[in-house]
Amino acid sequence: MPNRREKRKAIRDLCELKRKFERLERSLNQQQSDSSSISSSESSIESEDSRPMQNDPQQEAVLAVPANIPVQEPLVTDLQFLGEGPKASLQTGPALHEELVSRWSNYLKEGLSSEVRKDLITKCPIPSNCSTLQPPKLNDEVRSILGTQTQKNDRYMLHLQEQMVASLSAIGSILNLKLLDPNVPLTLDEPKLQTLAEAAQLLANSFHAISVKRRFDIQPFLSQESRNASYKCPVDEFLFGSGFLEQSKACQNVRKVAEEIKKPKPSFSQLSTSLGPRDLNSKRPFYKARKKRSPSPPSEHRLTMYRRKDPKTRENQDHRQTQKLRKWRAKK
């Protein structure tokens, strides 16, 4: 809670603001009255010069009324003082041809088949003087300490690099024609256009492969129903498809319905109550008979144990053990 000193200070500040507002209001009223008087005097002088010397009281009354019409200020066109304006969230370029859009959309969503991809990579070899385009290999000493899944991920990224290398080689072959003879204008004939189209196919397939890899890394964090739903939803503007939520709910509903219609397993209590009096004398289930063990000879360990336990009756115990050992040897 504020104390008395703070309250007094707040009251003084309010009174000071009130006095300032009153002064400002008085000054505005005075300026308005001065401007109205000046305009009325000027209008009266002009009227006196233009009219005849006769005095008309009605006309003087009309001219004496000040015209308090507010003057409209000119619009401000320079808005640099406000700062930089907001920019569009997505800047788009010129529209492409419909045939090109339809093909690229298919490559970006579904990718290329393995045969087409391998064929395009073989068509675009690496330049002889640019060895840095060769994808780097994994060291053997590092591979030995990696797990199976990590090695698979590395091979997946290696294949992506191979596709990018082929597309760069194809684009570089077209640019190289212009650099070899700069004075000759570059004409894009059908073979060159086909080379550029193949490079675009490889880049689009790489885009699709990266989307698949992102989905694969996120799927372990989803439930089994959501994971099954992701397989049915293709990639569009969203990574798991725009209909992923509805498909996931549908899979969950299917699982609930399946559990409801599934026949429940009978419990032990239900089995015991369902058995009648006739079942009490039923034949027991068959169990595998155990093999009978052959009698083992008395061990020397028992003799020593008896001797340690009861040294007084040591001779009687030794006699019994020797008798047992003789009988057993006689049976053998």
Structural domain boundaries in the chain: 1-45, 105-219, 222-261
DSSP for 90-113 reads: S---PPPPHHHHHHHHHHHHH---
With 0-12 / 13-18 / 19 or more C-beta atoms within 10 angstroms meaning exposed / middle / buried, residue 230 is: buried
With 0-12 / 13-18 / 19 or more C-beta atoms within 10 angstroms meaning exposed / middle / buried, residue 56 is: exposed
What pLDDT sits at residue 54? 47
What pLDDT sits at residue 160? 93
What pLDDT sits at residue 39? 58
What pLDDT sits at residue 23? 83
Per-residue pLDDT of the chain (332 residues; tens, 9 = 90+): 557 777 787 888 888 888 888 888 888 888 777 666 655 555 554 544 444 444 444 444 444 444 454 444 445 556 666 777 677 666 788 888 999 999 999 999 899 999 999 999 999 999 989 889 899 999 999 999 999 999 999 999 999 999 999 999 999 999 998 898 888 888 888 989 999 999 999 999 999 999 999 999 999 999 888 888 888 888 888 999 888 999 888 888 888 888 888 877 766 566 555 555 555 556 666 666 666 666 555 555 454 554 455 555 666 667 777 777 788 777 76
What pLDDT sits at residue 18? 81
What pLDDT sits at residue 296? 58
CA gap 47, 50 in Å, rounded? 5
Let me know the angle formed at the C-alpha of 59 by 53 and 65, rounded to the nearest 5 degrees.
125
CA gap 220, 239 in Å, rounded? 15
Q: Any idea how long the chain is?
A: 332
